[in-house]
Amino acid sequence: MSFNCSLWQDNSMSVKHFAFVKFSEVTEQCFLLFSFILFMFLASLTGNALIALAIWTNPALHTPMYFFLANLSLLEIGYTCSTIPKMLQNLVSEARGISREDCATQMFFFTLFGISECCLLAAMAFDRYTAICSPLHYATRMSHGVCVHLAMISWGMGCIVGLGQTNYIFSLDFCGPCEIDHFFCDLPPILALACGNTSHNEAAVFVAAILCISSPFLLIIASYGRILAAVLVMPSPEGRQKALSTCSSHLLVVTLFYGSASVTYLRPKASHSPGVDKLLALFYTVVTSMLNPIIYSLRNKEVKTALRRTLGKKNVLTHG
């Protein structure tokens, strides 16, 4: 089904509503994908909410590493909630339209949470670097105040970039077509619908990606380079294993998140494909958000213990 953009244009011929391209004309395929995404969405919300609650209610986890992990869980909740509900609606409903204002709002929150997560993952790497390479100064360098400031900087960077990119892109004219060949209002597919020359906007998106995706990633690489050098000179095999085990979960999360984000936003425009972009979007909006709580809970004894206590308290309250 093709949408008539003229029905969604004002007197200035500017498009005021968009529509998401239908995933498939085969109803069974849409419902299958709907069920798949809904399951992962609910699993992601449940897992991240439980981790944040477990950290909040267990004083033993009130440390810098878990403070950042709680922030990461909150970011993942916001990240998925900003895109998945509309995505699910589009899969099973013929009403696949979205207003220009709602599209801009979705783009802002998606960018906010995505950029904030990039910065927060870098802060988590710095925390691990300080704990392993400067253990005697760890309490001072990673005090509660420092952790709060690093979290605020991460959230603030996401907000600034989100506002800037959204305002810059939606200041363009959209005179048709109005169909978004994507699951949500992401930057590249919306730019593809703009009229006239968008090279400056594409450059701005690329620069923002370099600064806010690549720069934190380079900080992560540098931190883990120093960590590896410090671990290799440790005399005790048990000490090396313990040091590496505290980093393994974070490294896996970084690999999953940065792998998909880098391919999406840092590859040349000519190599962009709507099909590939959609698959990547599903991966970094749904799959990674669902896997993160599993990774941290399965590979961390303290988190598993805290989750058992939290779930135990809930069972007591339920049956009390």
What SS3 class is residue 179?
strand
> What interhelical angle do 237-266 and 215-232 show, nearest 10?
160
Give the separation between CA 146 and CA 142, rounded to whole angstroms.
6
The CATH code for residues 26-311 is 1.20.1070.10
Would you list the DSSP string of 81-143?
A: HTTHHHHHHHHH-S--EEEHHHHHHHHHHHHHHHHHHHHHHHHHHHHHHHHHH-GGGHHHHT-
What SS3 class is residue 15?
strand
**Which residues touch 129 (CB under 8 Å, ≥6 apart)?**
223, 224, 226, 227
Give this prediction's pTM: 0.85
From first to last of the 320 residues of the chain, give the pLDDT tens digit. Answer: 455 554 445 545 567 888 888 776 677 888 888 898 999 999 999 999 988 988 888 888 889 999 999 999 999 999 899 989 988 888 887 777 888 899 999 999 999 998 999 899 999 999 999 998 888 899 999 999 999 999 999 999 999 999 998 998 888 888 767 788 888 888 888 888 888 777 887 888 778 877 888 888 899 999 999 988 888 888 888 777 877 777 888 888 888 887 777 666 666 665 566 667 777 777 778 888 888 888 877 667 777 777 787 777 655 445 45
Give the separation between CA 293 and CA 268, rounded to whole angstroms.
32
Q: Which two tokens stand for residue 298?
A: 């399965």
Give the separation between CA 179 and CA 190, rounded to whole angstroms.
9
Cβ(169)–Cβ(191) under 8 Å? yes
